[in-house]
Amino acid sequence: MTSQAQFDPQAFIELALSRGVLKFGEFTLKSGRVSPYFFNAGLLNDGEALSLLAQGYADKLTQCNNVEVIFGPAYKGIPFVAATAVALSQVHGQSVPWGFNRKEAKDHGEGGVLVGASVAGKKVWIIDDVITAGTAIREVVTILQQAGAEIAGVLVALDRQEKGQGELSAIQEVQKELNIPVHALINMKDLMHYLDAKGENEALAKMEAYRVQYGI
């Protein structure tokens, strides 16, 4: 899939900051790590914010290959994939089939756990916000493969580029285990470039210290 669009990480960061989706400061994560930044996709809870994210995904997908179907894992991925399909059509003039899964299989109507476009024999891109442990992505990949899909790749909003339990990040573990590309709209290096360009030296120093301790 090709288009003139070039995704701009710095512009996306500006928009994410303006929406409060991205914040710099001091945040204690579930892991116990104290992070110098926080990305909260839960704040993408109105039309403007969702459109911002979807346009980012759509721009990025135009730079990817084998985009035959896009897929959103239940439940959070469902609005993401639907809005991305709209953005691909309205902004890029590309009509891409989309689908999602249910958490529980239906035994009436069309039945099953998959809803929307057929994935059988198709190259499918999975769209989600972040990969934390990779458990959810692995489950969705299994469901799609059982339905006859070929996984083309995964697209997430943020790659924290930090170690998980071992030496690899969660995204690297998924790439290695499943042998698929995982792309992110923005990553930690993009955040550091942004801070550097803005002359935010104190915040940049905290990011650098965090990267040295936990980075990959």
Q: Which two tokens stand for residue 37?
A: 């930044």
Contact 101, 73 (CB under 8 A): yes
User: Who contacts 60 (Cβ-Cβ below 8 Å, separation ≥6)?
Assistant: 7, 155, 183, 185
User: Who contacts 91 (Cβ-Cβ below 8 Å, separation ≥6)?
Assistant: 5, 55, 58, 59
| Residues known to be catalytic | 106, 108
**Phi, psi of 70, rounded to the nearest 5 degrees:** -110, 145
Report the DSSP beta bridge partners of residue 23.
Answer: 38
User: Who contacts 18 (Cβ-Cβ below 8 Å, separation ≥6)?
Assistant: none
Which of 120, 119, 135, 214 has its CA nearest to residue 178? 135
